[in-house]
Amino acid sequence: MKKLSRRSFSGIAAKGILGTTLLTNMPLAKAFTAKPINKKLGIALVGLGSYSEHQLAPSLLETEHCYLAGIVTGTKEKEGIWKEKYNLSKKNIYNYDNFDTIAKNDAIDVVYVVLPNSMHAEFCIRAAKAGKHVICEKPMAVSVKECDAIINACKENNVKLGVGYRMQSDPYTNEVKKYVKEKTFGDVLFVSSDAGYISNGNPDQWRLNKALSGGGALMNMGVYAIQTSIYGTGQNPISVSAQEFSTRPDYFKDTDETITAQFKFANGAVAHMMTSHNANGNRLKCHCSKGWFELDPAHSYGPISGRTSNGNTIEFPFKKQQALQMDDFAKHVLLGSKNIAPGEMGKRDMIIVEAIYKSIAEGGKEQTLSLGDLGIVS
């Protein structure tokens, strides 16, 4: 009989070959005698805006290891609508004021914060203090300092922390990571990526208000281009220089419209990114010593699409990224499997965001980054 490595055992368990039973994270020898956990984690969404309504809640109907158990909302009318639509128990419905009493509710295992960026830190810290595992939407916060406060609160309260980086659970991202790691097309020499859309909506929306968003395109879509630059090369950058462009100052009064940035990597690779609230962009292309590969679209909700220089297309069956992401986090909590998007990854990206804004403020001056392997999960 083929011997199972610890890794292949977790893989089998995670794929459900052991049935729907999940086992706690413990030495392999003990795992076969361990008491099984027949449990799906109960998730409470905090903030019932567009992303919760149209992506996360529908995805929670498809997840295997977690489900929508509760809500936290500041809008009274949404309580009844969501209660009926998702068959929620009245005791699992909270508002921003009574949210902390969620500590006493055993039906809620995970709090998922889906509020404007400047509110992430407060609600993640309150969730951690209530003893709940935390998923924090991207960008993790509006400063590195806030990221540290969230990470520390989760550590101090012994709860797990994940960032809502859905692309980290997407099979296309993992295919790109595999090409980079296995040098399928040789060494990656240059990465080009962009992430943006044209914003024409309400000029008073929170995304255009720096106090609530922390910044414009860079905070919103820019984190995707930062992420693709990193998984497109398989490394953290050692420096960044950046430029900002403004063509509609009347609309983008308070936040950045378009930003370009260039990264250098320790092995000599270079990356260029563009992010915008005034131009569409949804692409990753890796130019290598023996060919190239690209995703276009690279980070929309899917389906993603990819091609390589050997004439192949990159194709995977479609599954909601958010369902994959929340199941990955649930498996991390239940099984102790890898945390695919830990708080350190969100913090790393915020260090880069701050360096980009600093470079712009200093007229494009190159900023040194000392990230080591922070946030790299392989």
User: Which residues are part of the catalytic machinery?
Assistant: 138, 224
Binding mask 145-164 for ligand NAD (x = CB under 6 A): -------------------x
For ligand NAD, the binding residue among 42, 70, 116, 216 (CB under 6 A) is 116
d(CA 32, CA 213): 48
Which of the ranges 33-41, 42-50, 227-235, 249-257 carries the binding residues for ligand NAD, by CB under 6 A? 42-50
Cα–Cα distance measured from residue 372 to residue 378, given in angstroms and rounded to the nearest whole number = 14
Residue nearest ligand NAD, CB atom distance: 49
- Please, are residues 315 and 354 in contact by the beta-carbon 8 Å criterion? no
Order of all β-strands in the sheet with 41-46: 93-94, 66-72, 41-46, 110-113, 133-136, 161-163
Q: Does 277 sit near ligand NAD (CB under 6 A)?
A: no
By CB under 6 A, residue 50 contacts ligand NAD: yes
324 CB-near residues (< 8 Å, 6+ apart): 166, 169, 170
Interface residue with ligand NAD, options 9, 51, 190, 251 (CB under 6 A): 51
Identified binder of ligand NAD from the candidate list 57, 72, 88, 114, rule CB under 6 A: 114
Distance between CA atoms of 174 and 170, rounded to whole angstroms?
7
CA dist 339 and 64 (Å) reads: 17
With beta carbons less than 8 A apart as the criterion, state whether 259 and 160 touch.
no
**Residues between 195 and 214 with contacts to ligand NAD, criterion CB under 6 A:** 206, 212
Q: Please tell me the distance from the alpha carbon of residue 161 to that of residue 342, in angstroms, as a whole number.
A: 6
Work out the number of other CB atoms within 10 angstroms of the CB of residue 111.
Answer: 27
Stretch in the footprint of ligand NAD (CB under 6 A) among 25-33, 46-54, 274-282, 310-318: 46-54
Would you say 2 or 76 has its CB closer to ligand NAD? 76
Q: Does 98 bind ligand NAD (CB under 6 A)?
A: no
Q: Could you give the count of Cα atoms lying within 13 Å of 278 in the half-sphere of its Cβ? A: 17
Q: Confirm or reject binding of residue 117 to ligand NAD (CB under 6 A).
A: yes
Tell me how far, at minimum, the Cβ of 117 lies from ligand NAD, in Å.
5
- 3-state helix, strand, coil split of the chain in percent (to 5) is 35, 25, 40
Does 60 engage in binding with ligand NAD (CB under 6 A)? no
Q: Contacting ligand NAD (CB under 6 A), which of 40, 132, 133, 138?
A: 138
**Binding-site residue total for ligand NAD (CB under 6 A)?**
18
Q: Taking the complex as a whole, how short is the minimal distance between the CB of residue 29 and ligand NAD, in angstroms?
A: 39
- Residue 33 binds to ligand NAD (criterion: CB under 6 A): no
Task: Determine, following the binding rule CB under 6 A, whether residue 75 of this chain makes contact with ligand NAD.
Answer: yes
Using CB under 6 A as the binding rule, whether residue 74 contacts ligand NAD is answered as yes
* Cis geometry, peptide bond prior to residue 139 (ω within 30 degrees of 0): yes
CA distance 39 to 351: 37
What is the rounded CA–CA span in Å between residue 67 and residue 108? Answer: 10
Residue closer to ligand NAD (CB basis): 170 or 287: 170
Residues lying near ligand NAD in the complex (CB under 6 A) are found at: 47-52, 74-75, 114-117, 137-138, 164, 166, 206, 212
